[in-house]
Amino acid sequence: MKNTIAERIFDFLKDYPPFNLISKETLLEVSKRIEIQYFEKDQIIFNQNDTPHEHFYIIYEGAVRLYRFIDNEKHNLDICDEGDLFGLRPLIMQENYLMGAAANEETILYGIPISLFNGIILNYPKVSQFLIASFATNTRDPFSDKHKGKLFANVSSIQKIENSFAETQSAKYSKNPITCSIETSIKEASMIMTKHIINSIIVAKDYIPIGIITDKDIRTKIGTGIFSIFDPVSKIMSSPVVTFPEKITVAEAQIALLKHKVSHICITKDGTDKSELVGILAEHDLNILQTNNPMFLVREIKYAQDAETLKHIRTKASELTKGYLEQEIPIYFITKVITEINIAITKRIIRLAIKELGQDPPVAYAWLAMGSQGRSEQLLMTDQDNALVFENVDEDSYLQVKEYFLKFATLITQKLHIVGFEYCPANIMASNPKWCLSLKEWKEQFKDWVKHPTSDKILLSIIFFDFEYIFGDKELYNQMSESVFKYISKKQTFLGFLSKATLDNPPPLGFFKQFLVEQDGENKDHFDIKSRAIRPLVDAARIFSLHHSLKVNNTIARYEKLMEVESQNKDLFESCANAFKILLQFRTLQGLTNNDSGKFVDINNLSKSDRLKLKSCFKPIKNIQDSLKLRFNVSQIP
Amino acid sequence: MFNLFKKKKYPSYWQKHIDAVKNSRNYSNYESIRFVCLDTETTGFDYENDRILCIGAVAIKNNKILVSDSFEVYMQQEVFNKETVKIHGIRRNGTEKKVSEEEAIIQFLEYLDDAVIIAHHTKFDLTMINNALKRLNIGPIKSKQLDTNYIHKKIAITNKFKKLYSLDELCEIYNIKMHDRHTALGDALLTAYVFLKLTYKYKKNNVLNLTNLINTNYYLNK
């Protein structure tokens, strides 16, 4: 018999593991036997230690929190969202529920009869594999690390498989290394090394390694005149050699190099120096693996001779970002590293530009970053926002000085563009005569913005008041920022205008808790995470910081500083900082996945828990906006 | 003369329906009541001239919607109205397996058993079904009946005197995702969701038992 409901349930289940691993016929059979249950917010689904139900559950709509009482204290273990399974393990293990489950919001569950599912587990090895893995990840506890991994015995074994860090990968080495006999003269050996462009040669007999000569030996023992180039290699070789078997991991290789203070390891068949040589592993081989290391990247930037090389390095940096995010390294740390890399690139470009112009800057200047770069919040390639300030000069030389800096700035922005920083569509760049000004002109500009906050001036001040020093004379930058605080402290209503502008971005949840999505255009039905969630938090942090004359730009740092200066509002600022971290991480991951700026999020394609994660960030937005409204008398602003 | 008072001889399936409702012992305990949420697709809204094309139903017991206990039947009808095809999508020669009206009724009554009927605008669906029964010289349906509309009106704080709510409006109010709107079983499922949410809210301020629920729609069960 036709069963429209079962067909719809099938359509839902088939997208979620482990149901996507089951044949259509079987899954349709499962769908026909589902029980649908509705739970109000906070209604209990089952209690810890209850005897297991006949069904386990998948969330069709809503969210369920899993909790556990340990020593009479309730610990929330996880929040499951649409498509998540729960309550299955006790049914399979035939034990009581280890955790309690309650509806975290209005929830509709599909109950799947365990009697039916036991057969599926037996017939589909992939399903049982998935379940074992999911039992492990169910222990992931977003709220405390204390109980991590304690609930299920098999967690560690699974984690081991999943975390294939670089350290446990096998190291790559050169196979079939060049060798010479023990009678070879140093001169001959050096000629072989030169011919093959290698920095070491192994001294061997019948492929059994006896010793090794490196560039260093030739420098320290021949160059210094201790030995003659006509002496045999045996005089200067290091012997015996450090050997390792073929399956050497990166970590083992690193340790061996450090321990023996050598630069090369011989790889032999059985790992001893009595067996046949199969390869050589040099320190350099490990470095190639680690080129995605920030220190290395910064060093490379310093030696880069053109923008194309820098572009290549910047690409590596975004791979680095991806890796960091996957390893769930804190976002604050990642932004710091990426900012350092971006600053290093900009500095290098400025130096290259000066060289290319063939003329040193006529007076002191400072290169400034604006917007997200100024706040050190750039993870992805975004637009350039920059400006330049130069020392006050007398009228006679002004035009000439300005002309130089405009040419200078144009060259820099061009190079930044090559590296991958798009031109700013609003032309907020130092190459624009409006934003390449003397210190005096900047001060006048800021004064005007604060005194006459029309809507276009507010927009500009939002961008410019996040300026950060990048290169040049720091004193010029200091004087600029002091002038901003001075003007604002004289006219606090200005902050009211700034608040009003940001309040035009209301909290992004609709009445029925649905996401407010774009109504039309190219991004219809997409959630604008940048304008609707990130920007309101950034704006609020800026306004409060300007209010307290805090000389920090980074949003997280601003909230942390605000927690100190306004300890009575510590909780509010802390929740904002946390929400911001999550949102930034989210946007970056989105951007890396879709290879764009991550500005728009397709809500329908979001995974279960991500949707919940996003929603949880919206409450702090509402709270901080309410606070802005009151503090800066927004209702008084025309 | 005497024959007039003699008990009429009903087809066995109808007698079974009467007995099932009369003899049921399930109504006093809420957890053991089997509710059947149903919806019909018809050729139109004229009780006399229009016909049922499809009946869809799904059961609820102890606050659980039992997908395994659902019912869907398409029936062959002489009456055809191309205007309503746009709504329900059931074509005269569609791919669904169709049975005669009588066969559909027999299957339906057997499925219904002693269940309490829940529908949205129950009067419409039941009148259509009862008219079909009349054509078979039986009826009307003996089952107890509820209407999500009236349960909602009972607990809604505002707009008590508002006109009747549509299923769409209730889904909007109770935040229910709409799927398969205007298929009989799809609408039956939506009605089931509405009913679960309604009864949950209802029992916050009222004692949840069948008598009280039935009293919300006094006009259906005299």
Mean pLDDT of chain A: 81
User: Is A282 within 8 Å of A199 (Cβ atoms)?
Assistant: yes
Q: Which residues of A touch B192 (CB under 8 A)?
A: 36
Q: Which residues of B touch A32 (CB under 8 A)?
A: 67-68
> A604 in contact with B at a CB cutoff of 8 Å?
no
> B193 in contact with A at a CB cutoff of 8 Å?
yes
Fold of A294-483: Beta Polymerase; domain 2 (3.30.460)
**Nearest chain B Cα to A108, which residue?**
B193
Res B29 pLDDT > 80: yes
For A309, phi then psi, to 5°, come to -60, -40
Indicate the range of A291-300, A514-523, B157-166 predicted with least confidence.
A514-523
Span A409-426, pLDDT tens digits: 999 999 999 998 888 888
Distance CA A349, CA A116 (A): 65
pLDDT of residue B115: 95
- Which among A35, A37, A109, A514 is the top mutation candidate for probing chain B, defined by the most B β-carbons within 10 Å of its own β-carbon? A35
| Cα A353–Cα A358–Cα A361 angle in degrees, nearest 5 | 70
Would you say domain A496-636 falls under CATH 1.20.120?
A: yes
Res A363 pLDDT > 50: yes
Q: Is residue B5 part of a domain?
A: no
β-strands A208-214, A200-205 pairing: antiparallel
Q: Which residues of A touch B171 (CB under 8 A)?
A: none
- If you search the block for the tokens 């009482």, which residue do you land on? A69
Indicate the range of A81-90, A129-138, A153-162, A381-390 predicted with least confidence.
A153-162
Q: Which residues of B touch A37 (CB under 8 A)?
A: 63-65, 196
Res A153 pLDDT > 60: no
- If you search the block for the tokens 């200091």, which residue do you land on? A478
Q: How confident is the model at residue A103 (pLDDT cuts 50, 70, 90)?
A: very high
Average pLDDT over residues A443-450: 93
Span A195-210, pLDDT tens digits: 888 888 999 988 899 9
Closest chain B C-alpha to A41 CA, distance in angstroms: 11
Read out DSSP for B104-134?
HHHHHHHHHTTPEEEESSHHHHHHHHHHHHH
Average pLDDT over residues A174-193: 89
H-type helices in A510-631, by residue range? 529, 535-547, 555-565, 570-594, 608-616, 618-631
pLDDT of residue A134: 52
Average pLDDT over residues A533-543: 92
> A511 in contact with B at a CB cutoff of 8 Å?
no
Q: Is residue B2 part of a domain?
A: no
> B183 in contact with A at a CB cutoff of 8 Å?
yes
For chain A, what percent of residues have pLDDT higher than 90?
A: 28
User: What's the alpha-carbon Rg for chain B, to the nearest Å?
Assistant: 18
Span A215-273, pLDDT tens digits: 888 888 888 888 998 999 999 998 889 888 877 766 567 667 766 778 888 888 888 88
Average pLDDT over residues A506-518: 58
**If DSSP codes are grouped into helix, strand and coil, which group holds residue A305?**
coil
Which CATH number, 3.30.360.10, 3.10.580.10, 3.90.650.10, 3.40.1110.10, labels domain A174-284?
Answer: 3.10.580.10
The better pLDDT of the pair A160, B87 is held by: B87
Interface pTM, i.e. ipTM: 0.87
pLDDT of residue A414: 94
Res A333 pLDDT > 50: yes
Distance CA B166, CA A277 (A): 83
User: Is B119 within 8 Å of B58 (Cβ atoms)?
Assistant: no
Q: Which DSSP letter does residue A20 get?
A: G
**If DSSP codes are grouped into helix, strand and coil, which group holds residue A627?**
helix
Nearest to B70 among A5, A40, A108 (CB): A5
β-strands A107-113, A365-369 pairing: unpaired
Q: Report how many domains make up chain B.
A: 1
Closest of B103, B85, B83, B81 to residue B94, by C-alpha: B85
Q: What is the CATH number of the domain that holds B129?
A: 3.30.420.10
Res A478 pLDDT > 80: yes
Q: Is residue B221 part of a domain?
A: no
User: What's the alpha-carbon Rg for chain A, to the nearest Å?
Assistant: 32
Architecture of domain A4-163: Sandwich (2.60)
pLDDT of residue A606: 73
pLDDT of residue B179: 75
> Residue A292 has which token pair?
């995605």
**Nearest chain A Cα to B173, which residue?**
A512
Average pLDDT over residues A445-456: 90
Span A567-624, pLDDT tens digits: 899 889 988 988 888 888 778 777 777 766 677 777 777 776 677 777 778 888 888 9
pLDDT of residue A608: 64
User: Strand A386-390's sheet: what is its strand order?
Assistant: A436-438, A386-390, A365-369, A468-472
> Residue B77 has which token pair?
């009808």
A5: Cα within 13 Å, side-chain hemisphere: 31
Residues 36-55 of B with CB under 8 A from A: none
Q: How confident is the model at residue A171 (pLDDT cuts 50, 70, 90)?
A: low
Q: Which residues of B touch A36 (CB under 8 A)?
A: 64-65, 67, 192-193
Read out DSSP for A96-142?
--SSEEEESSSEEEEEEEHHHHHHHHHH-HHHHHHHHHHHHHTT--S
Q: How many helices (H) and strands (E) does chain A have?
A: 25, 21
Q: Which residues of A touch B67 (CB under 8 A)?
A: 3, 5-6, 9, 31-36
**Encoded amino acid at A47, one letter:** N
pLDDT of residue B122: 92
Across the interface, do B67 and A33 touch by the CB < 8 Å criterion?
yes
> A13 in contact with B at a CB cutoff of 8 Å?
no
Q: How many helices (H) and strands (E) does chain B have?
A: 9, 6
Q: Find residue A277's DSSP bridge partners.
A: A268
Indicate the range of A35-49, A544-558, B178-192 predicted with least confidence.
B178-192
> B117 in contact with A at a CB cutoff of 8 Å?
no
Res A493 pLDDT > 60: yes
pLDDT of residue B117: 95
- Which among A13, A36, A57, A107 is the top mutation candidate for probing chain B, defined by the most B β-carbons within 10 Å of its own β-carbon? A36
Span B102-143, pLDDT tens digits: 999 999 999 999 999 999 999 999 999 999 999 999 989 999
User: Is A318 within 8 Å of A342 (Cβ atoms)?
Assistant: no
Q: Which residues of A touch B186 (CB under 8 A)?
A: 4-5, 8
Across the interface, do B68 and A34 touch by the CB < 8 Å criterion?
yes
Q: Which residues of B touch A9 (CB under 8 A)?
A: 67
Nearest to A61 among B56, B177, B180 (CB): B177
- Structural domain boundaries enclosing B137: 10-215
Give per-residue burial for A381-410: e unless 16+ CB within 10 Å, then b: bbbbbbbbbbbebeeeeeeebbebbbebbb
Across the interface, do B97 and A40 touch by the CB < 8 Å criterion?
no
Nearest to A34 among B67, B180, B186 (CB): B67
Indicate the range of A51-65, A509-523, B189-203 predicted with least confidence.
A509-523
Closest chain A C-alpha to B184 CA, distance in angstroms: 9
Where are chain A's structural domains?
4-163, 174-284, 294-483, 496-636
β-strands A600-602, A526-528 pairing: antiparallel
> A339 in contact with B at a CB cutoff of 8 Å?
no
User: Is A69 within 8 Å of A48 (Cβ atoms)?
Assistant: yes
Cα A589 to Cα A16, A198, A230, A384, B114, distances in angstroms: 21, 41, 61, 21, 56
Cα A379 to Cα A28, A312, A589, distances in angstroms: 45, 16, 10
The better pLDDT of the pair B72, A591 is held by: B72
> Residue B189 has which token pair?
């499922």
Q: How confident is the model at residue A515 (pLDDT cuts 50, 70, 90)?
A: low
Cβ contacts of residue A431 below 8 Å, gap of 6+?
A: A406, A409, A410, A412, A413
Q: How confident is the model at residue A124 (pLDDT cuts 50, 70, 90)?
A: confident
**If DSSP codes are grouped into helix, strand and coil, which group holds residue B149?**
helix
Across the interface, do B64 and A4 touch by the CB < 8 Å criterion?
no
pLDDT of residue B6: 54
Res B70 pLDDT > 80: yes
